[in-house]
Amino acid sequence: MSRHYPHPVIAREGWPFLVIGVVVAALLTWLGWAVLALLAWVVAAFVLQFFRDPARTIPDAPKAVLSPADGRIVKVENGRDPYLDRDALKISVFMNVFNVHSNRSPVDATVIGRWYHAGSFLNAALDKASLENERNALHLRTPAGQDVTCVQVAGLVARRILCYVDPGAALGRGERYGFIRFGSRVDVYLDPSARPKVAVGDKVFATETILAEFA
């Protein structure tokens, strides 16, 4: 099935940047400053592609944990969930500046907890970014009682994590809950019994790619 959002295919977070970029480019074009105008139009085109937010098709797989972001898998390992203090399967998705940066819920769930931590802005592809960078974590609980921790991590270029849900909110699979501006990472922590369906290096798409399945 498809999930439809109450906003256009360009994320609302991008409209101020896009309007400013187009106005500046149009003004430079009108003034006849060809080189600067060309550069401004290139910047406006980059902003347009960065803030795209297309609708996605949700797999018909009730035990699936869906990717919360577009990008590339940089980590699939058993480790420790620092938020729920438990052993966990950790899967990390790295987003570069050309990926869609809208973040979507990996499961049908209720938001149990939310934690925000200020931090550094290291390259989000690095392992230590999970614990040292600015980050926002959500504790999600599915109707079947499985706990999922979903962590937005700022990157080298990213300077703003946006999260629109608080404890008590209900999220559907594939539902948009946040956005990270300009390069970042999302970590997902699951019960160790979950079976991973991706490997390091795989390209994934938010909502459409299955990261793992609950046992």
For residue range 160-195, list pLDDT tens digits in order.
788 999 999 999 999 999 888 766 889 999 999 999
Hey, what are 69's tokens? 């972001």
Contacts of 186 (CB under 8 A, 6+ apart): 68, 69, 71, 92, 93, 95, 103, 150, 151, 152, 153
Model pLDDT for residues 95-141, shown as the tens digit of each residue = 888 888 889 999 999 999 999 987 665 555 556 556 667 889 999 99
The predicted pLDDT at position 38 comes to 92
Look up 105 and say whether it is catalytic.
Answer: no
Here the contacts of 91-94 (C-beta below 8 Å, separation 24 or greater) are 91/187, 91/188, 91/190, 91/196, 91/198, 91/211, 91/212, 92/130, 92/185, 92/186, 92/187, 92/188, 93/67, 93/68, 93/69, 93/185, 93/186, 93/187, 93/188, 93/204, 94/124, 94/125, 94/184, 94/185
Select the more confidently predicted residue: 12 or 80.
80
Amino acid 96: pLDDT: 85
- Catalytic residue, chosen from 102, 105, 130, 184, is 184
pLDDT of residue 193: 95
